[in-house]
Amino acid sequence: MTDRPLTLMAVHAHPDDEATGTGGVLARYAAEGIRTVLVTCTDGGCGDGPGGVKPGDPGHDPAAVALLRRQELEASCDVLKISDLEMLDYADSGMMGWPSNDAPGSFWQTPVQEGAARLAELMRHYRPDVVVTYDENGFYGHPDHIQAHRITMAALEMTALTPKVYWTTMPRSMMQRFGEIMREFQEDMPDPAEAAALAEIGLPDDEITTWVDTTAFSGQKFDSLAAHASQGENIFFLRMGKERFGELMGTETFVRVQDATGAALPENDLFAGLR
């Protein structure tokens, strides 16, 4: 036995990603006394600037945006009671196909083994019992999410650690409900092709291994998103209000891809078999 606390490490691409996919589990497990470590891989410099100015538009300053988003990230960590924040500080690569994908120093251009070596060092330091990141498509094809997946899986191979490993996902039933709420709250809906692509995100419900009830922490998750107020994509969630947000976002779902505990599936706890 050891006095080392049980530890959850979440590896995310940008400031605010910690809130959308894992804000509930980070808050829940922090409240249960588990050490929560957030690794944010990029500086978020391709996010919205003040007033919603977009990358490439006049007045968009990636360095200023990165500074603002670091402040927002720290506020979000305070809300979620995250124990440790680690920043890899690679340059944000932007959406797939943007010129910023090819910029020297961007996360997308960083050799996987280089990023993985830095992450492996953090893993050896924190010795996580559970690691959470994205699937091989970065959930929806964002280059920095894909790269976060790649360096996480490579870093695990570099260490002698055997944590439970999970990829974030969404059940198709929840995506359908999400689409219905989008129609309720938004006047400008995605075109048919975008709507069809949205419907294909996530997995069939029966392929999801892990369903974690985070309803009691949905208020913290909402507030952590609100901390990232500069980013326009979060406004939709905030317009719902906390009650509706909690109804939609009160369960976080994952696919378990590595396990040495033998915990039965499906499971309702990332730490099943560890306590």
| pLDDT per position as a tens digit, 224-233 | 999 998 987 7
Q: What is the pLDDT of residue 13?
A: 97
Number of residues that this document lists for the chain: 275
- Locus of tokens 């809130």: 19
Q: Pick the residue with more confidence: 107 or 185?
A: 107
| Phi, psi angle pair for 182, to nearest 5° | -60, -40
Half-sphere exposure of 266 (CA within 13 A, CB side): 12
One-letter amino acid at 80 equals L
Give the angle subtended at the CA of 187 by the CAs of 184 and 188, to the nearest 5°.
120
Query: Quick one: the chain helix, strand, coil %, rounded to 5?
Result: 50, 15, 35
CA 19 to chain CA centroid, Å, is 7
Task: Give the predicted TM-score (pTM) of the model.
Answer: 0.92
Q: Sorting pLDDT into bands at 50, 70 and 90, what band is 1?
A: very low
Q: Which residue has the higher pLDDT, 188 or 41?
A: 41
Cβ atoms of 210 and 169 closer than 8 Å: no
CA distance 179 to 183: 6
Pairing of strands 210-213, 251-258: antiparallel
The confidence band for 127, taking pLDDT boundaries of 50, 70 and 90, is: very high
Whether residue 2 has pLDDT greater than 60: no
117 compared with 202, residue with greater pLDDT: 117
pLDDT score, position 56 = 85
Band of the pLDDT at 12, cuts 50, 70, 90? very high
Which pLDDT score, from 0 to 100, does residue 200 have? 72
How far is Cα 200 from Cα 231, in angstroms, rounded to an integer?
24
- H helices, E strands: number in the chain: 10, 7
Residues whose CB falls within 8 Å of the CB of residue 199, separated by 6 or more in sequence, listed in order: 172, 175, 176, 179
**56-71 residue pLDDT tens:** 889 899 999 999 999 9
Could you tell me where the DSSP H helices lie in the chain?
17-31, 62-80, 112-126, 138-141, 143-158, 172-185, 192-199, 218-227, 235-239, 241-249
**pLDDT band of 198, cuts 50, 70, 90:** low
Nearest to 151 by CA among 10, 11, 271, 3: 11
pLDDT confidence tier of residue 197, bands split at 50, 70 and 90: low
Is the pLDDT confidence value at 176 over 80? no
